[in-house]
Copies of this chain bind each other. A is one copy, B any other.
Amino acid sequence: MAQQQIWYGGDYNPEQWPQAVWAEDVQLMQRAGVNMVTLAVFSWGLLEVADDQWDFGWLDRIMDQLHQGGIKVDLATATAAPPAWLVRAHPEILPVAADGTRLEFGSRQSYNPSSATYRAYATRLTRKLAERYGSHPALAAWHVGNEFGCHVARDYSAESAAAFRGWLERRYGTVEALNQAWGTAFWSQHYTAFDHVEPPRATPTFPNPTQLLDFDRFSSDALLECYLAEVAVLREVTPGVPITTNFMGFFKPVDYWRWAQEVDFVCDDAYPDPADPASPGLAAMMRDLMRSLGGGKPWILMEQAPSAVNWRERNAPKPAGQYRLWSLQAVARGADGVMQFQWRQSAAGAEKFHSGMVPHAGTETRVFREVEALGAELKSLAGLVGSLCEPSRVALVLDWDSWRALEQAAVPASLDYVAQLQRWHSAFWRRGLGVDFVPPEADLSAYDVVVAPAAHVLSQAARQNLAAVPGRGGQLVVAYQTGVLDPDLHVLLGGYLGAELREALGVWVEEFAPPALVAGQWVPELALDGLAAGPATDWAEVLHAVEAEVLATFRAPGALVDGQPAVTRRPAGPGAGAGGAWYVATAPAALDALAAAILEAAGIAAPLLPAGVEVARRGGRTFVLNHALEEQRVAVDGAAVVVPGRDAAII
């Protein structure tokens, strides 16, 4: 990407419109400042009209027209939805659900990712497109598939079962190793042959947890194999063209740490609810994840809605200004592109009520006016292209195995993993701090604060990695349900956390004591005394502070945890500067007070911003985004900045 401008545009589906509309489209794109479109995402059926019969004429024409209009193309491999003739000729490619239901053609993603037939047809199509358009002057990048795993993240067919067995043989070598990892001595689940293993289909009661996790891991890998099969073709035929696929924010089925290694640049599809006041913070967290997945490099916001989506029970439009504000947020947090789904709102099909840059009502509309205005503003920000965000001093541990394991059934309490992350991200975001996400075994040396909430599954290497933070002067913050299991989901015995973290934190956990919901009430009702005094929710446990100071205790009359430690801190040894290891055994309502203490210990000065205000720094600019309705006054770099409601200042 020898990129000059911030990408601006969206998915473009000209095949849904008569060719008479195409010329108007290009004109309107120019008017709106569009410089990039994603083409052909769902065009397989109109490109390969029957087995090995091709119709590229229409795509040739629109590629040329776009080129003539100065608009570049992020060209899809068009493999996201196999056509009807292929499904009818090879019904074995249809996905199968856990209860055995075969999922029919008629929506999209009607394929089993492990299907050899699907992969053969998909790579043939990819090769055709690469050969035909690899040197087209409009081509800017390859867009492989689309939102991998969005609807069919796991397949339970016989073909997938065989692939799963192969994956297990490669992982474990012997069936005895599998037995050991899965703990099959429990419930008489011992296997004597890989051939006896099946996916975790519908079972009489809770299936084996490690089988479940391995099937999640396998399913993510099976999708990745699909992606890589197409990538291999593209690398061979068009070696110079960058390749990507669109991620979907916090998406549990697919391990983006692994996937991010295989894309030339990271892309995200982001659809927070315009009506939810918590959305700006959630969106900021998504942006930070995408930047982190790319190792800090610029990324592309590949899809967002200009206004409403169509898949919630009730779909609110974006109020005036929000489209701009959330777009600038992406740029401020590292995006080099602001793309939309989609250019022209569809007139038919299942997404016709999803907003487009050109609405049903045409161009004399609020939405199109905002689209035009943003195009102009992004052009003025071209100088940011390629620049980096201000380095983050705070890291948040994110781990797909922990996510999957924490949210399994038959656990101490049903917890929402992303909510655990968001609670902490939000505490820093409200102070204008960027946060990097990191996998548990990442190099953490750049960070002054490392927070691990519900990092449920930790390898020994990860435990050592985290435990080393205080010793080099950093603040390690471990929140509940971290380090409970090893990667085979075996419990870390002897007080949880593993020996390394128990030592680093100076604590051990005797017993989990999550409050229960009885008739809608938390039992016991939890409160904290000391640091972060006030109510607490979600979790409690019997914690022993062996070598740590107790900063807060529980108040919960009659409960096990009453008067027991809730927040502790072990200062690192005398030679370690201001390093410290914090343990947090609950979710305090007054998290800001706790965050303030942690940041103070880390020497980070970052006062709370007014409610709804976001500050982010990139490429020498400071973005002040006011998500609130009311005007806000903010002190930025010593100067007072006044920002009207739902508006932004770029300094």
B109–A205 touching, CB < 8 Å: yes
Find out whether the CB atom of A109 lies under 8 angstroms from the CB atom of B491.
no
A576 to chain B, nearest CB (A): 28
Nearest CB on B from A185, distance (A): 5
When each residue 191-209 of chain A gets 1 if its CB lies under 8 Å from chain B and 0 otherwise, what string results? 1110111101111111111
Beyond A187-B81, A276-B518, is A510–B317 a contact (Cβ under 8 Å)?
A: no
**Residue ID in chain B nearest A81 by CB atoms:** B188
Count of chain copies: 3
- The distance in angstroms between the C-alpha atoms of A216 and B310, with both chains bound, is 22
Could you tell me if B514 and A316 are in contact, using CB atoms closer than 8 angstroms? yes
On whether A106 and B208 interact (CB within 8 A), knowing A83-B190, A314-B414, A493-B362, the answer reads yes
Q: Are B410 and A351 in contact (CB under 8 A)?
A: yes
Pick the interface stretch among A251-259, A263-271, A282-290, A552-560.
Answer: A552-560
User: For chain A residues 1-47, which have a beta carbon within 8 Å of chain B?
Assistant: 13, 15-16, 42-46
Digit string of A224-262 for contact with B (CB within 8 Å is 1, else 0)? 000000000000000000000000000000000000000
Residues on the B chain within 8 Å of A360, using CB: 491, 493-496
Give the contacting residue for A349; candidates B50, B208, B307; CB below 8 A: B208
Chain A, range 523-575, C-beta contacts under 8 Å to B: 523, 542, 557-560
Asked whether A353 is an interface residue with its Cβ less than 8 Å from the other chain, the reply is: yes
A426 near B: Cβ within 8 Å? Answer: no
Q: Which of B49, B490, B496, B516 contacts A315 (CB 8 A)?
A: B516
8 Å CB contact of A190 from B84, B542, B558: B84
A101 to B156, CA, bound (A): 13
Q: Report the nearest B residue to A354, measured CB to CB.
A: B410
Q: Is A440 an interface residue (CB 8 A)?
A: no
Closest Cβ–Cβ distance, residue A262 to chain B (whole Å): 24
Q: Determine the residue in chain B with the shortest Cβ distance to A16.
A: B185
Assess whether A361 is in contact with B511, with CB atoms less than 8 Å apart: yes
Judge whether A103 is part of the interface by a CB distance below 8 angstroms. Answer: yes
Query: Assuming A410-B311, A491-B360, is B108 touching A192 (CB within 8 A)?
Result: no
Closest to A204 in B: B151
In the bound complex, residues from chain B placing their C-beta under 8 Å from that of A209 are: 348-350, 352
Answer yes or no: A294 CB below 8 A from chain B CBs.
Answer: no
Which residues does chain B contribute within 8 Å of A414, judged by CB atoms?
313-314
Nearest chain B residue, comparing its CB with the CB of A198? B104
- A134: interface (CB < 8 Å): no
A620 close to chain B: CB less than 8 A:
no
- Does A594 have its Cβ within 8 Å of any Cβ on chain B? no
| Cross-chain contact A558 with B488 (CB below 8 angstroms) | no
- Which of A92-100, A166-174, A598-606 forms part of the interface with chain B? A92-100
Report if A472 contacts B (CB, 8 A): no
Contact A44–B188 (Cβ < 8 Å): yes
By the criterion CB–CB under 8 Å, are B560 and A320 in contact?
yes
Say whether A16 contacts B183, CB under 8 Å. Answer: yes
Q: Which of B191, B317, B515, B516 contacts A511 (CB 8 A)?
A: B317
Bound together, the chains give a CA A647 to CA B275 distance in angstroms of 48
For the complex formed, measure the closest distance between the CB of A408 and the CB atoms of chain B, giving whole angstroms.
Answer: 9
Q: Tell yes or no: A629 within 8 A of B by CB.
A: yes
Q: A495: which B residues are within 8 A, CB to CB?
A: 360-362
Q: A191-B84, A346-B183 are in contact. Are A204 and B95 (CB under 8 A)?
A: yes
Interface size on A, residues (CB 8 A): 130
Q: How far is the CB of A88 from chain B (nearest CB, A)?
A: 5
Contacting B at CB under 8 A, from A63-121, are: 78, 80-85, 87-88, 95, 97, 99-110
One of B44, B83, B211, B509 near A106 (C-beta < 8 A): B211
B489 touches A348 (CB 8 A): yes
CA distance A643 to B78 in the complex (A): 72
Given contacts A273-B516, A413-B315, A629-B558, contact A42 B187 (CB under 8 A): yes
Could you tell me the distance in whole angstroms from the C-beta of A144 to the nearest C-beta in chain B? 16
Once A101-B99, A523-B275 are accepted as A-B contacts, the answer to whether A108 and B350 lie under 8 Å apart by CB is no
Q: Is the C-beta of A299 less than 8 angstroms from some C-beta in chain B?
A: no
Docked complex Cα distance between A307 and B547 (Å): 27
Judge whether A46 and B348 touch: CB under 8 Å. no
Contact A347 B493 (CB under 8 A): yes
Min CB distance A628 to B, Å, is 9
Min CB distance, A154 to chain B, in Å? 11
Give the residues from 347 to 380 in chain A that come closer than 8 angstroms, CB to CB, to chain B. 347-353, 359-362, 365-367
CB–CB A413/B314 < 8 A:
yes
Q: Which of B109, B191, B316, B411 contacts A513 (CB 8 A)?
A: B316
A196 CB contacts on chain B under 8 angstroms: 84-85, 87-88, 105
Residues of B contacting A88 in the complex (Cβ-Cβ under 8 angstroms): 195-196
A204 and B109 form a contact (CB under 8 A): yes
- Are A205 and B348 in touch, CB under 8 angstroms? no
- What chain B residues lie within 8 Å of A100 (beta carbons)? 101-102
23 pairs from A and B in contact (CB 8 Å cutoff)? A46-B190, A81-B189, A84-B190, A100-B101, A103-B203, A104-B200, A106-B203, A108-B187, A110-B203, A183-B348, A183-B349, A189-B349, A206-B350, A210-B348, A276-B516, A313-B414, A314-B412, A314-B414, A316-B514, A347-B490, A352-B490, A366-B511, A557-B629
Given contacts A84-B192, A209-B352, A308-B412, 19 further A-B contacts (CB under 8 A): A45-B189, A83-B190, A85-B192, A102-B202, A104-B201, A107-B204, A151-B204, A183-B347, A183-B348, A205-B350, A208-B349, A209-B348, A275-B518, A312-B516, A319-B560, A347-B491, A352-B489, A360-B494, A366-B511
- 10 closest A-B pairs (Cβ-Cβ)? A183-B348, A186-B349, A275-B516, A151-B204, A45-B190, A81-B188, A107-B203, A206-B350, A104-B201, A314-B413
